[in-house]
Amino acid sequence: MSTTLDITPNTFFRCAHILPGSVCKKLTPEAKRVFALIWNRINTSTSDYVWCSDTSISHIARVRPEKLQATLDELTAAELIEVTIGLTQNKYRILNTEAGAA
């Protein structure tokens, strides 16, 4: 399922606008918020990845810090993101928004 998004500056896309419904339904609300945050950060940059701290992601995506690792594991297991651990920040890259759609 491929959709064309009308991308304008300062537009925040929710998970339902980015991922196919079959994938989105499998994710927890926390995973949806974290994925949308990472996707939107990358979408507004000129790179295909973003560096961000756990504290920043927890705060912006409204995910309790103790649940963040489980949420990132869920997104990684769904093959939606790749996380590269850094010293103070992690590198996040979107792998495939069509993952699990089959």
Alpha-carbon 82 to chain mean position: 10
- Count how many domains the chain has: 1
Range of the domain at 36: 19-94
1 band by pLDDT with thresholds 50, 70 and 90: very low
We report the CATH number of the domain holding residue 48 as 1.10.10.10
Which residue from 98, 81, 77 is spatially nearest to 90, judged by alpha carbons?
81
Q: What is the pLDDT of residue 4?
A: 53
- Residue-wise pLDDT for 74-86, tens only, equals 999 999 999 999 9
Indicate whether 51 belongs to any domain. Answer: yes
d(CA 54, CA 9): 25
In a domain, 87, yes or no: yes
Question: CA 77, CA 44: separation in Å to the nearest integer?
Answer: 25
In this prediction the pTM is 0.82
- Residue 35, classified by CB atoms within 10 Å of its CB into exposed (0-12), middle (13-18) or buried (19+), is buried
Looking at the DSSP bridge assignments, the partners of residue 81 are 94
| Domain contains 2 | no
Q: Is residue 12 part of a domain?
A: no
Judge whether 100 lies within some domain: no
**Going by C-beta distance under 8 Å and a sequence separation of 6 or more, which residues neighbour residue 53?**
88, 89, 90
User: Does 11 map to a domain?
Assistant: no
Give domain status of residue 38, yes or no.
yes
pLDDT in tens, 23-74: 888 999 999 999 999 998 988 888 899 999 999 999 999 999 999 999 999 9
